[in-house]
Amino acid sequence: MAKKNDAIISKLKNIGEGVLDDVESGHNPSMDIMTRSINNVHFDEASGVIKLGNDRQKRFYFNVNQAKKFLQTLLIAKQIKTLIEQDKPPLSIRQLFYTLKHEIPGAGENTFDVQEESDPIIEDIEAITDTLREDLNLIATPNGVISGPMVVEDKTGDVLDFTRMGSAGGAVPPIVEDDYFHIKEMSADYILVVEKYAVWNLLNQEKYWKKNNCLLMTGKGQPARAERRLLARFAEEFDIPIYIFTDMDPWGYYIYSVYKYGSINLAFFSEKAACPPAKYIGLSVRDVMDFQLPKSSWIKLNDEDNKRIEEISSYPWFQKERWQKELSDLKKFGYKIEQDALVSKSIEFTSNNYLPHKIENKEFLE
Amino acid sequence: MTSSKVSREEKGPIALELAKKQKSISVAEFFEKNRHMLGFDSLPRCLITCIKEAVDNSLDACEESSILPDIYIRIRKVDDKMLNIVVEDNGPGIHKDVLPRVFGKLLYGSRFHAIRQSRGQQGIGISAAVLYGQLTSGKPARITSKIDSKLPAYMYDLKIDTETNEPRILSERIDEFFTSKGTRIEIEMEAAYVRGRQSVLEYLKNTSIVNPHARFTFIDPYNERFTFERASDILPKKPVEIKPHPRGIELGTLVKMLQVTDIKKLSSFLNSEFTKVGGYTAENICREANIDPNMVPHDLSMDIEGVKRLLGAFQKIKVMSPPRDCLSPITEDLLKKGVIQNCNIDFIATASRPVNASRGNPFMVEAVIAFGGDIEREGKADIIRFANRVPLMYQQGACAITHAIERINWKHYNMEQPKNAKLPSGPIMVLVHIASTNVPFTSESKDAVADIPEIMDDVELAVRQCARELSRFLSEQKKALEARKKIRIFESYTKEVANALSVLTGKDEAHIEARFLDILNKKYSKFIEEIPAEDNAGGE
């Protein structure tokens, strides 16, 4: 551990050294920042993972549009180094934001105004140092809950039985590596990840996980890193199917792809957080016909939805014929449907009809 | 109405009755009753008018004899209501034969009939002040004048006989103490000394701006001395008398000219009675008006339609602008000097328009915009108006100069102009001078210029020209200000950056900061405004 930390500290130091070299030689000081946009990620077919390319951008100090970001980058690097050196417990990225937020004397402005300014810079530093946030002693706040046949020994030494977590389920901790979250027992036949907490809650109330002997998990919308990493661990450590169940809209499709392939923004994290075996269980356009979902539950696609469909259609990891068809069918159909809408058939429809039918008949998209 | 019961027949016709009551009114009597027309209405204004008339006369006299004016003004309190005013100049003096009439007879002047630029014109100014003084104080005016160092100075105490409009000399003696050439006038009158926008001080400051060749010394009633120094030793060019210009001459005037001329040929008449009309132009005008050039002008004056055609031809045929030499503009250079001498400012722009004519009278517009410095920051811009080097202190809202300035949208020139406001706000001074052989005032008190379209257009153009320069200055100032602000921000960022780098690398924070500031000062200050060339686009 200490050795790992030394390596991280020297990487952070290097950022500062590079800037100082520029200054000493009379150049406009700069840092190389990995470009984290769709143009600098590629889809690695072999591993089925989104990977970051090698494009970099220079971030200059003596440039009106970049000066503040430059300053913020150094502040965060400095703070991370200090936290690691002092062996403090991990801070959330919000707490880190607060430790650095102060007024810059004489400038009449703050170092940071909103967390939206510091979060992307933390990602920049993860990419520069090629180190995960968790190892930088920072944690993202997870939202995920799980219930099902699994027993875990927590870093605190507490043993958690996820069959006894009541109606709220067990929380996914911020760091899910083995030394924090040691899985002692796991007897599920498959893992079902649902997009929305409300749907997870309904299934949990009905003891769906017990009836079907599965692990029932939700990331509450777009999953945080901990949920994604945990799902990746499940895929690495257990040879059981993993199903993703989301809304029938481009946002839902994308959530599935983040679980399965990783995300553009955190491409450097994908190798640890992708879950290639994941399968898409629904909702799909075909389900509308197959299950005769009532028209009253359809919502018209808006401009933003249509734009997002276009974007997703062009992503390399959506090029499979099945997905291209799904996307164009959705566009043609012109409506989106939320997974919650299945209750319009009946309250138990999701757990008693829809999910068992899909799993038995292996009606998945991959 | 009379209430007498006497029958009409006994008295004879009413007209006869009324005719007995008719009599002529002397001009002096008329102004005694209507003194507000000449600028003697409120007490503070009476004071300014009196000083203004005396100073105008002094300046005109000095310039006519090529003397750099040195004018001394003193106001003394006599009692609660009365002030004693002295204006003394170093001019050529006034010959004792005409002196009493110059000061003691209304409508007596040397400049009324000349088409030439001068301050006074009708010859009612200073005599009206004398009249006002005797009406309110009962005391005569005292005038001393010396025309030659070898001759003695004569001192007169005189009043105006209002019935006859003739001077009445109460005493005439030799003043032994008056040693140098010049004229001195002393009047006691009911008046009030005030400070502020419409005050003697303001009047003198503005007069000094447009008469940079003059020096004024002023002693106020509290014995405080103010000196307005010369900004230039160059006398204004003496205006030359000219004939009327055909542009904008009025029908009645043209008819009268045609009637009284002795010239027997229309083309020769045009040629000799108008400025800038040569033989060729005269031919063209006649052809355009479809009138025989050999026609006798007097005959044409009978044919109103013909005169109208001639007037139309004046507008159609290009006639050269009137000659400049009948006017005496201040010139941009001296205007600048005058303003800088009298006001502390950050920026000044000047403009002058070519000579133009309206109603046959040549005129020309000069404008100045000054900005910043000690000019009042709050509220709207100051407009300072001049006609023939005389400040116009009253009726700003009724003046063509103001109206022309109000036509401008100042937002186009980087200035603030609140919604529905006619003028920009901020430390702005707009100064306009109209020089003309005959300034078209709205009234005899010469407070405001009438809304003549040609004059308004020229004022607007001149002011706009200055406004463009100010606009450039303001945007550069804004840029410089922003750059300075950015450098300040960089300096404060650099403290933070140096601290972070020091923590990251263990190097000395003060040294890092110094190195950063070196680069900022030496190399990258210029990049504060533009993105460095070695830079590619930033962002995510």
Please say if the pLDDT value at position A235 is more than 80. Answer: yes
Long-range residue pairs from B308-311, CB within 8 A, at least 24 positions apart, any chain: B308/B251, B310/B254, B310/B285, B311/B249, B311/B251, B311/B254
The mean of the pLDDT values for chain B is 82
Mean pLDDT comparison of A1-10, A274-283, B419-428, highest-scoring range? A274-283
Which pLDDT band holds residue B534 (cuts at 50, 70, 90)?
A: very low
Each residue of A3-31: b (16+ CB within 10 Å) or e? eeeeebbebbbebbeebbebbeeebbbbb
Q: Does A26 lie at the interface with B, CB-CB under 8 angstroms?
A: yes
DSSP label at B320? P
- Which residues in chain A touch residue B498, judged by CB atoms under 8 angstroms apart? none
The residue with tokens 């722009």 is: B349
Residue B35 has a pLDDT of 73
The token pair that represents B414 in the structure block: 């980087």
Q: Quick one: pLDDT at residue B105?
A: 74
Task: Give B272 or A221, the one with higher predicted confidence.
Answer: A221
Q: What chain A residue is nearest to B503 in terms of C-alpha separation? A: A78
Residue B531: per-residue pLDDT: 41
Residue with the larger pLDDT of the pair B320 and B8:
B320
What pLDDT band is residue B120 in, cutting at 50, 70 and 90? Answer: low
Strand B382-387 and strand B428-436: pairing? Answer: parallel
Joined together, the tokens standing for residue B1 give 């109405």
User: B315: how many CB neighbours lie within 10 A of its CB?
Assistant: 11
Q: How crowded is residue A166: how many other Cβ atoms within 10 Å of its Cβ?
A: 8
How far apart CA B108 and CA B131 sit, in angstroms, is: 14
Task: Give the pair of three-digit tokens for residue B208.
Answer: 């000094």
Q: Which of B244, B247, B271 is nearest to B256 (CA)?
A: B244
Q: Say whether B532 and A62 touch across the interface (CB within 8 A).
A: yes
Q: What pLDDT does residue B21 have? A: 66
B77-81, B493-497, B533-537: least confidently modelled range? B533-537
- Helix, strand, coil % over all residues of chain B, rounded to 5: 40, 20, 40
Cβ contacts (< 8 Å) between B523 and chain A: which residues?
A: 26, 28, 62
- Most B CBs within 10 Å, among A23, A82, A99, to test the B interface: A23
Q: How many CA atoms does the CB half-sphere of B324 hold within 13 Å?
A: 9
Nearest residue on chain B to A105, alpha-carbon basis: B492
Between β-strands A138-139 and A91-92, what pairing exists: parallel, antiparallel or unpaired? parallel
pLDDT for B528 equals 53
Residue A78 has pLDDT above 90, yes or no: yes
Q: What is the mean pLDDT of residues B193-222?
A: 89
- Rounded to the nearest angstrom, the minimum Cα separation between B508 and chain A is 11
Q: Distance, in angstroms, between A22 CA and closest chain B CA?
A: 10
Report yes or no: A120 at the B interface, CB cutoff 8 Å.
Answer: yes
Tell me if B32 sits within 8 A of B162, measured CB to CB.
yes
**CB contact A23 to B (< 8 Å):** yes
Residue pLDDT, tens place only, B317-362: 877 777 777 788 888 888 888 888 888 889 999 999 988 887 767 8
Q: What is the mean pLDDT of chain A?
A: 90
In chain B, which residues have their Cβ closer than 8 Å to the Cβ of A19? 501
Residue of A nearest to B513 (CA): A23
Give the Cα separation of A239 and A193 in Å (integer): 16
Best probe of the B interface among A8, A60, A102, by most B CBs < 10 A, is: A60
Question: Would strands A145-147 and A214-218 be described as parallel, antiparallel, or unpaired?
Answer: antiparallel
Task: Return the ∠ at Cα B396 (arms to B390 and B401), rounded to 5°.
Answer: 70
How many CA atoms lie within 13 Å of A58's alpha carbon, on the beta-carbon side? 16
Quickly tell me which residue has 């998945």 as its tokens: A364
Pick from A351-355, B7-11, B502-506: least confident: B7-11
Annotated binding residues of A, written as ranges, equal 195, 247
Highest mean pLDDT pick, A167-171, B24-28, B102-106: A167-171
Chain-chain contact of B500 with A75 (C-beta, under 8 angstroms): yes
Looking at residue A146, its pLDDT comes to 96
Q: Which residues of A touch B535 (CB under 8 A)?
A: 28, 58, 60, 63, 66
Q: CA torsion angle for A161, A165, A166, A169 (degrees, to 10)?
A: -140
Is B96 exposed, middle or buried, given 0-12, 13-18 or 19+ CB atoms closer than 10 A? middle
Cis check for the bond before A283: say yes or no (omega within 30 of 0): yes
**Interface list for B 402-421 with A (CB within 8 A):** none
> Whose structure tokens read 């979902």?
A293
Residue with tokens 């058939």: A345
Residue A14 to residue A74: CA distance in whole angstroms: 11
For B24, what's the count of Cα atoms within 13 Å in the CB-facing half-sphere? 7
Q: Are B265 and B359 in contact (CB under 8 A)?
A: no
pLDDT band for A70, please (50, 70, 90 cuts): very high
Question: pLDDT grade, residue B115 (50/70/90)?
Answer: low
Q: How confident is the model at residue A184 (pLDDT cuts 50, 70, 90)?
A: very high
Interface test with A, best of B518, B535, B536 (most A CBs within 10 A): B535
| Each residue's pLDDT tens digit, A16-33 | 999 999 988 888 899 999
Is B10 at the interface with chain A, CB within 8 A? no
b vs e for B20-49, b when ≥16 Cβ sit within 10 Å of the residue's Cβ?
Answer: eeeeeebebeebbeebeebbbeebbbbbbb
> Active-site residue numbers of A?
98
Nearest to A13 among B505, B512, B531 (CB): B505
Q: Are B461 and B467 in contact (CB under 8 A)?
A: no
pLDDT bin (cut points 50, 70, 90) of residue B243 is confident
What is d(CA B190, CA B84) in angstroms, rounded to the nearest whole number?
Answer: 9
pLDDT at B270 over 80: yes
Cβ–Cβ gap A77/B491 under 8 Å: no
CB contact B520 to A (< 8 Å): yes
Exposure b/e, B376-396, CB count within 10 A at least 16 = b:
eeeebbbbbbbbbbbbbbbbb
A59–B538: do the CB atoms touch at under 8 Å?
A: yes
Residue B253 dihedral angles phi and psi, to the nearest 5°: -60, -45
Q: Do A60 and B488 touch (CB under 8 A)?
A: no
Are A23 and B519 inside 8 Å of each other by CB? yes
Identify which of A62, A74, A106 has the shortest CB distance to residue B492: A106
CA closest to B486 among chain A residues: A64
pLDDT at B540 over 50: no
If you average pLDDT over residues B528-532, what whole number do you get? 46
Inform me whether the C-beta atom of residue B192 falls under 8 Å from chain A C-beta atoms.
Answer: no
* Model pTM above 0.75: no
Q: What are phi and psi of B177, to 5 degrees?
A: -85, -10
Cα B362 versus chain centre, distance: 15
Q: How far is A350 from A347, CA to CA, in rounded Å?
A: 7
- What is residue B129's three-state secondary structure? helix
Residue with tokens 């070519």: B354
Tokens 């009309």, located at residue: B277
Handedness of CA A323, A327, A333, A338 (dihedral sign): positive
Q: For residue B94, which of B56, B146, B51 has the smallest C-alpha distance?
A: B146
End-to-end CA distance of chain A: give it in Å, rounded: 38
What gap in Å lies between CA A313 and CA A254, rounded to an integer?
10
Chain A residue numbers touching B522 (CB-CB < 8 A): 26
Q: With bands split at pLDDT 50, 70 and 90, how would you rate the model's confidence at B111?
A: low
Distance CA A223, CA A215 (A): 16
Q: Which residue of A has its CA nearest to B506?
A: A13
Which pLDDT band, with edges at 50, 70 and 90, does B153 fall under?
A: confident
Q: Are residues B492 and A107, on separate chains, in Cβ contact within 8 Å?
A: yes
Mean pLDDT score, A257-283: 88
CB contact under 8 A, B496 and A37: no
Contact B368, B339 (CB under 8 A): yes
Q: How far is A318 from chain B (nearest CA, A)?
A: 23
**DSSP alpha helix (H) spans, chain A:** 2-24, 67-85, 93-100, 115-129, 197-205, 208-212, 225-237, 250-261, 267-273, 285-290, 303-314, 321-333, 349, 355-360
* Selected residue with higher pLDDT from A145 and B100: A145
Chain B, nearest residue to A15 by Cα: B504
**CA A267 – CA A43 distance, rounded (Å):** 10
Whether B526 has its CB under 8 Å from any CB of chain A: the answer is no
Q: Which residues of B touch A74 (CB under 8 A)?
A: 496-497, 500-501, 504
Contact of B495 with chain A, judged by CB distance below 8 Å, is answered with yes
Residue B513 forms contact with A (CB below 8 Å): no
Catalogue the E-assigned strands of B262-414: 347-352, 356-358, 361-371, 382-387, 390-392
Instruction: Say how many CB pairs under 8 Å bridge A and B.
Output: 112
CA distances from B240 to A158, B45, B60, B386 (A): 111, 33, 14, 21
Nearest to B488 among A12, A78, A106 (CB): A106
The answer to whether A111 contacts B504, with C-beta atoms less than 8 Å apart, is no
Length of chain B: 540
* CB-CB neighbors (< 8 A) of A59 in chain B: 538
Cβ separation of A64 and B528 shorter than 8 Å? yes
| Average pLDDT estimate for B154-179 | 84
Mark yes or no for CB contact B538/A71 under 8 Å. no
Per-residue H/E/C for B190-240: ECCCCCCCCCHHHHHHHHHHHCCCCEEEEECCCCCEEEECCCCCCCCCCCC
pLDDT value for B440: 86
Binding site per annotation, positions of A for Mg(2+): 195, 247
A17–B contact, CB cutoff 8 A: yes
Distance from CA of A76 to the nearest CA of B (A): 9
Cα dist. B193→B74, B81, B327 in Å?
12, 10, 34
Q: How confident is the model at residue B27 (pLDDT cuts 50, 70, 90)?
A: low
% pLDDT > 90, chain B: 20
